[in-house]
Structure 1
Amino acid sequence: MGKITGFKEFERQDEKYTEVKDRVKNYKEFTVPLNESEITEQGSRCMDCGIPFCHSGCPLGNLIPDFNHMVYQGEWQKASWLLHSTNNFPEFTGRLCPAPCEKSCVLGIIEDPVSIENIEKSIVERAFKEGWIKPHPPKVRTGKTIAVVGSGPAGLAAAQQLNRAGHLVTVFERDDAIGGLLRYGIPNFKMEKGIIDRRLAILIAEGIIFKTNVNVGVNYKVEDLKAFDAVVLCGGATVRRSLPTPGIDAIGVVQAMDFLTQQTKVLFGKEIKDQVMATDKNVIVIGGGDTGSDCVGTSNRHGAKSVVNFEIMPKPPGHRSPTTPWPYWPLQLKTTSSHKEGVERNWLINTKEFIKDKDGKLTALKTINVEWKMVPGQRPQLIEIEGTEKTWPCDLALLALGFTGPEATLSDQLGLETDVRSNYKATKYQTNVPNIFAAGDMRRGQSLIVWAISEGREAAREVDRFLMGRTNLATKGSGDLLSVH
């Protein structure tokens, strides 16, 4: 695979970024793509592994050594076909996936791993540029109708797969545009929305019906779903986690996703009354994950006076921890492009109080340093360290604490069973109501975009089998028998 000695001859090379001072002036993507010869070199670094563990690291089972080899050989169209055979939307994962495949790359044991994610992005961008990605409606329709609720990556993947199988698919989205959190939850500087729109145009041309501003169970009766032969629920895990902290009701304590969604909608001319702005404010982002990082980047683009980030967990090591050896996903410090734009990061810190003035506006946060006591056989205990209390000036606190699970609207009205974490129970993606299936974060809990696409594909396979008694849709990593790209 690749050039036999490629991994010895060439070092890993990633996309570069435009300068911080320039990129924070707007909300556009700021990566500088590698040229064709550079990408060819990166493809050549893929070794002829006896067992390519990148497959097991990727939830989609992408045929990674195969498309790397095609890139090295200059067979870009074949690389695109291989990539799309297991991944419906590589333009999403090529930008937004944390690349578990790279963390399980065999080359990564001794050197920097193959730059799989960047190669993936380069392939799909070349494919769109060359016009290789075209609509291919199914030649034969089955007469079966399917409702997909939710148009995030799980819903879109399920819809495309089921449409390929010949079923007539209608996708319901409660927001005013298709894409779920890809549309409004992911900042434009990480993925411009034209990336969604060009793929959406393909899906529409293939015959998938999309309906926006339809909130099933709210302004669309669940009884009307009975008109469909099957239903796939892909609504995501959207119940946001909060804090049981005094002063949480202060004006200026805002859920991160509200902050991010408002900003993206404004970019596209949506009227947002009283938009939350970080301009000239002391901003504290509570939560150290990707959403917290997105809040940091957005706050800097607003022109915040200061940006501070709190994380209650310990600071991860700079290199792979012995507790997460190769090929597992590593416990390791992640520094994003948004972090590099300016933020003070703090670990092992807990918010004790949101301080507000007489008008109820947030003015400061009280915190205390903590440590975690590990007792074998017991859950870790959070211990506060006496004498470490501190007050931080704060005009805007953004809660980037993740999600607790899916909303109960549909499960209650449809009589669906849920687990202890409120996720919709769905064995082999099928709920306790036989013709209703669930996929994505709604089924497995908050997770990655690549997992959502995988869930959507796997759910589509089970729906097709349920309706037809058999299926030609692909299993994970095998390449889609009905893929026509």
Structure 2
Amino acid sequence: MGKPTGFLEYKRQNAQYRDPLERIQDWKEISNLPQESDLVKQAARCMDCGVPFCQNGSLVGGMSTGCPIFNLIPEWNELVYRGNWKEAYDRLSITNPFPEFTGRACPAPCEAGCVASLYESSVTIKNIELAIIEKAFEEGWVKPQIPKERTGVKIAVVGSGPAGLACAHELNNYGHSVTVFERSDRIGGLLTYGIPKMKIEQHAVDRRIRVMEESGITFLTNVEVGKDYSLEKLQKEFDAVILCTGATKPRDLQVNGRNLGGIHFAMDFLHANTKSMLDSNFKNGQYISAEGKDVVVIGGGDTAVDCIATSLRQNCKSVIQFDIYPKRPTEREADNPWPQYPMVYKLDYGQEEAKAKFGDDPRLFATTALEFIGNEEGQLTAVKCVGIRTIFNENGEKIREPIPNTEKIIPAQLVLLAIGFEGPERELFDQLNIDWKEIKNSRSYQTKVENVFVAGDARRGQSLIVWAIQEGKEAAKSCHEYVTSKVNLSI
């Protein structure tokens, strides 16, 4: 705990977000941390709650609450309150190898489970976590973790997103030699090309990769396993393989006009934008531009918000978001009790920016696309949409049906599909003769192919960055136990 009466004395103070109209002019991070003295007061709000729901990750009502990587939150909150920042970093590092990523991009289910929210508002756990790791880098406390001895075991990790990096970090700490294969030209996976730079600037990713390289981990870019590097060769050269390829197969929307020019998957849009920015500061023109266009984003999650924010920075003419869910209440309803994640109305950062520029929340709630409309040249000009309501049939199945006389025509020259993912791309699984559905329904990270493991979104499907990190850690432990028994290591 922090100060016994801290939650009574101090109000919650969020990160200091830059003005929306200012920040859409650049690609810098959207917020700044409060001053250290203010952060100490925020840590003081951590109450002696008896049972810290914040640090026990679980699913309640189908949603995450508490920290899936079991961060020892009350402990490092008290250390920050006492001014013991180095000890707070040591305590945080026990559970989280990458606080700089979760402190920036995690939706903070830990705060949903904070007991202080029952009184007034939760502790700013996410901000304090980020402050700890940023101070640790500033003070030089983050150092390479070089094992005293190497086991001689070689392990390949396929994919360098949060799950792959967590796997590599843990396995290296066990003393194994780890090589990470990445098909893109930069390390980071989702952290580099899936999350826009205004949420995680690239220097934060590159800084961590340098520490991991200095710890002895090998990274190979522009190498696609299964094509450039055969699975057969990989299995022969390494004692074990862990697939951390993410859930990158996008869900499509098959309505009339889907083949018109100007309709793109969200990740294609975000990836190309970030790559062009990192390669040439957009000078090469190798990206999908929203400049001067009416943009429609279809989907209600974080990726949809990232598309809105990116379109605004590209100077779009307008932006509308179709959210299939009704507008949420401003306060918790009876069927959404604490410690479930609060399903309440809020403006995410991109929606806040759109409102600041165009005067209103960009969302059309309980709305879906009926048809894409184009011109004679085959280019998108508009989207026909309709209001929908959700009902449940006699079997309890959710059905969404259109509401009569609610059709609208929305001008659009660019549509971005952000309606989720259908799991990982299946090529590697097919080559190994593995049924992905069996993996998803299994509690084991080891596949039926003895020396092949799967972790992260590639195993569980689309999820949170913090779940990917935990999956990577657990898969690494499972793999370590396998190779230890296989080669009779006395470790």
User: 1: distance between equivalents of 2:230 and 2:476?
Assistant: 24
TM-superposition CA deviations, 1:213-233 (whole Å, max 9, x none): 111111111111121111111
Task: Check the 8 A contact 1:90/1:120 in 2, yes or no.
Answer: yes
1:120 aligns with 2:129: yes
Task: Check the 8 A contact 1:71/1:79 in 2, yes or no.
Answer: yes
SS in 2 for 1:403: coil
Task: Check the 8 A contact 1:150/1:172 in 2, yes or no.
Answer: yes
Superposed, 1:82-161 pairs within 5 Å as 82-161=91-170
SS in 2 for 1:224: helix
Please name the residue that 2:317 is paired with: 305
1:392 aligns with 2:410: yes
Match among 360, 369, 382 for residue 387 of structure 2: 369
Question: Which amino acid in 1 is paired with 2:22?
Answer: D
Identity among equivalent pairs (%): 48
1:454 aligns with 2:464: no
1:79 aligns with 2:96: no
C-alpha displacement of 1:426: 5.1
User: 1: distance between equivalents of 2:467 and 2:7?
Assistant: 29
User: 1: distance between equivalents of 2:366 and 2:301?
Assistant: 14
Please name the residue that 2:17 is paired with: 17
TM-superposition CA deviations, 1:299-348 (whole Å, max 9, x none): 11111111111011222222223222111222223411111111521111
User: 1: distance between equivalents of 2:230 and 2:304?
Assistant: 36
427 and 371 in structure 1: CA distance in 2 versus 1, 3 angstrom threshold: closer
Match among 274, 284, 287 for residue 296 of structure 2: 284
Question: Which amino acid in 1 is paired with 2:310?
Answer: T
1:179 aligns with 2:179: no
C-alpha displacement of 1:390: 1.1
User: 2: distance between equivalents of 1:275 and 1:165?
Assistant: 41
User: 2: distance between equivalents of 1:392 and 1:136?
Assistant: 54
Match among 378, 389, 414 for residue 360 of structure 1: 378
Question: Which amino acid in 2 is paired with 1:440?
Answer: G
My pick for the range that moved more, 396-405 or 379-388, is 379-388
SS in 1 for 2:437: coil
Task: Check the 8 A contact 1:68/1:119 in 2, yes or no.
Answer: yes
Task: Check the 8 A contact 2:276/2:286 in 1, yes or no.
Answer: no
Superposed, 1:455-470 pairs within 5 Å as 455-469=471-485
SS in 2 for 1:264: helix
TM-superposition CA deviations, 1:165-206 (whole Å, max 9, x none): 000000000000000011011111111010000000000000
My pick for the range that moved more, 336-345 or 447-456, is 336-345
Question: Which amino acid in 2 is paired with 1:449?
Answer: I
143 and 109 in structure 1: CA distance in 2 versus 1, 3 angstrom threshold: same
Task: Check the 8 A contact 1:424/1:431 in 2, yes or no.
Answer: no
C-alpha displacement of 1:51: 0.7
Superposed, 1:13-412 pairs within 5 Å as 13-56=13-56, 57-226=66-235, 227-269=237-279, 275-342=287-354, 343-375=361-393, 377-412=395-430
User: 2: distance between equivalents of 1:334 and 1:410?
Assistant: 39
426 and 170 in structure 1: CA distance in 2 versus 1, 3 angstrom threshold: farther
User: 1: distance between equivalents of 2:133 and 2:285?
Assistant: 38
Task: Check the 8 A contact 1:417/1:432 in 2, yes or no.
Answer: no
Flag structure 2 segments of 5+ consecutive residues without an equivalent: 57-65, 355-360
Please name the residue that 1:432 is paired with: 448
User: 2: distance between equivalents of 1:46 and 1:424?
Assistant: 37
C-alpha displacement of 1:428: 2.4
User: 2: distance between equivalents of 1:284 and 1:344?
Assistant: 9
Q: How much is the aligned-residue C-alpha RMSD, in angstroms?
A: 1.5
Task: Check the 8 A contact 1:426/1:438 in 2, yes or no.
Answer: no
C-alpha displacement of 1:436: 0.8
Could you tell me the TM-score, scaled by structure 1's length? 0.94
My pick for the range that moved more, 340-349 or 169-178, is 340-349
Question: Which amino acid in 1 is paired with 2:326?
Answer: P
SS in 1 for 2:183: coil
